[in-house]
């Protein structure tokens, strides 16, 4: 089997930046990723990425991808990693395409994904009324009654977007009060077709072919809301399940030191999948660069 210098898992801001550095260091490497751009592709307007006073997530990702591809980088797109483990001096990466790759170093830059509710009906009605992207699927619910689940900024943002499209928006928040920015909260509270249900949680999602209702527990009372769309906005979890050998914090984020090293030799991590304190595109990009330079140094020493 071919042995690569480096395998980069993920092609969001961290993975793509690592790939640019790897290409410029003339490393023999491979990028394996489910998609290009990761969460950055879903971001609306970005106003804090240096050099761009304003750019959309799509546009920034297009620029990132162009930069990555300008080096003839080998990118396995649409391939999901299912296992990473160190075997002897090498690291093995297995994917859902029944392939195995080996490398001397690996950078995990697999980011985060939307957290699921974990209630009956959620899986069954995925894309049949249950969605995790208000920006994408919102327009399909014009004139309908929908529910946003969550109480943070992303839930508030989804509620505001949907209020312009839908007939009525319920916001189901399991805390007694809203989190998120005060300005956004006040905006939502002032919107006439939004009804906020605090101290409430979803028990089940039901329907026939598509969603037609949810059962919620509001305070002590159980009730049914007749809605056609469920927008789940309860936060993110790291894509770190496929690697068992590394230390993680209680959120499942991979623990790294300031050189992006994990506790496993040759295995590095970067960006939102790690316990790096802030989750920002510009930080993920910087972390990707650091991780690649650390991997390069590791190769020189081993």
Partner 1 sequence: MAKNVKVYSTPTCPWCIRTKQFLKDNNIAFEDYDVGSDHAKADEMVAKSGQMGVPVVDIEGEIIVGFDKERIKASLGL
Contact between 228 and 129 under an 8 Å Cβ cutoff? The reply is yes
Q: Supply the minimum distance, in Å, between the C-beta of residue 225 and partner 1.
A: 18
φ, ψ for residue 293 (rounded to 5)? -65, -35
Which residue among 100, 179, 210, 223 contacts partner 1 (CB under 8 A)? 210
- What is the C-alpha separation between 91 and 104, in angstroms, rounded? 6
Q: Take residue 232 and report the two structure tokens written for it.
A: 């789940």
Smallest CA-to-CA distance from 56 within 71, 43, 66 is with: 43
**Segment near partner 1 (CB under 8 A), from 100-108, 135-143, 247-255, 256-264?**
135-143
Smallest distance from partner 1 to CB 77, Å: 7
CA distance 142 to 129: 13
How would you list the strands of the sheet with 200-207, edge to edge?
200-207, 211-218, 221-225
Is 60 or 270 the residue whose CB approaches partner 1 more closely? 60
Number of neighbouring beta carbons within 10 Å of residue 130? 25
| Binder of partner 1 out of 2, 88, 118, 127 (CB under 8 A) | 127
What does the DSSP 8-state code read for residue 49? S
* Contact residue for partner 1 among 24, 77, 222, 223 (CB under 8 A): 77
Cβ-based nearer residue to partner 1, 39 or 105: 39
Stretch that binds partner 1, among 37-45, 106-114, 116-124, 216-224 (CB under 8 A): 37-45
Interaction between residue 74 and partner 1 (CB under 8 A): no
CB of 274 to partner 1, least distance (A): 24
Report the residue number, 35 or 198, with the smaller CB distance to partner 1: 35
Q: Which residue has the tokens 């297009």?
A: 62
State which of residues 95, 131, 240, 262 lies at the interface with partner 1 (CB under 8 A). Answer: 131
Is residue 121 close enough to count as binding partner 1 by CB under 8 A? no
Stretch that binds partner 1, among 100-108, 137-145, 172-180, 193-201 (CB under 8 A): 137-145
Contact 206, 121 (CB under 8 A): yes
Task: Name the minimum Å distance from CB 111 to partner 1.
Answer: 14
Binding mask 162-181 for partner 1 (x = CB under 8 A): ---x----------------
Write a three-state SS string for 70-91.
CCCCCEEECCCEEEEEEECCEE
Of residues 128, 168, 217, 279, which one binds partner 1 by CB under 8 A?
128
Cβ(144)–Cβ(228) below 8 Å: yes
**Six token digits for residue 229:** 């769309």
Quick check: 124 binds partner 1 (CB under 8 A)?
no
Cα–Cα distance, 59 to 52 (Å, whole number) = 11
24 CB-side CA count, 13 A? 11
How far apart are CB 135 and partner 1 at their closest, in Å?
5
Q: Give the residues lining the site for partner 1 (CB under 8 A).
A: 36-37, 41-42, 44, 57-58, 61, 77-78, 127-129, 131, 133, 135-140, 142, 165, 209-210
């Amino acid at each position: 089997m071919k042995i690569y210098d480096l395998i980069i898992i993920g092609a969001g801001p961290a993975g793509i930046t690592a790939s640019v550095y790897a290409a410029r260091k003339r490393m023999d490497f491979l990028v394996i990723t489910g998609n290009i751009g990761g969460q950055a592709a879903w971001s609306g307007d970005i106003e804090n990425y240096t050099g761009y006073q304003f750019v959309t997530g799509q546009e920034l990702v297009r620029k990132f991808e162009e930069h990555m591809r300008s080096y003839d980088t080998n990118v396995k797109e649409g391939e999901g990693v299912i296992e990473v483990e160190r075997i002897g001096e090498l690291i093995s990466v297995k994917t859902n395409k029944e392939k195995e790759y080996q490398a001397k170093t690996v950078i995990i830059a697999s980011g985060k994904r939307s957290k699921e509710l974990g209630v009956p009906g959620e899986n069954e009605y995925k894309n049949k009324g249950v969605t995790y992207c208000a920006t994408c699927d919102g327009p399909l619910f014009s004139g309908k009654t929908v529910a946003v689940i969550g109480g943070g900024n992303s839930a508030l943002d989804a509620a505001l977007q949907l209020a312009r499209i839908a007939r009525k928006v319920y916001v189901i928040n399991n805390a007694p009060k809203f989190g998120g920015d005060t300005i956004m909260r006040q905006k939502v509270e002032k919107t006439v077709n939004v009804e906020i249900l605090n101290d409430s949680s979803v028990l089940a999602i039901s329907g026939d072919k598509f969603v037609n209702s949810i059962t919620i527990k509001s305070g002590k009372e159980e009730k049914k809301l007749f809605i056609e769309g469920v927008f789940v906005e309860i936060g993110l979890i790291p894509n770190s399940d496929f690697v068992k050998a590394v230390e993680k914090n209680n959120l499942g984020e991979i623990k790294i030191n300031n050189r992006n090293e994990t506790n496993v030799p040759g295995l590095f991590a970067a960006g939102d999948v790690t316990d790096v304190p802030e989750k920002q595109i510009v930080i993920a990009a910087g972390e990707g660069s650091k991780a690649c330079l650390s991997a390069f140094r590791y190769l020189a020493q081993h």
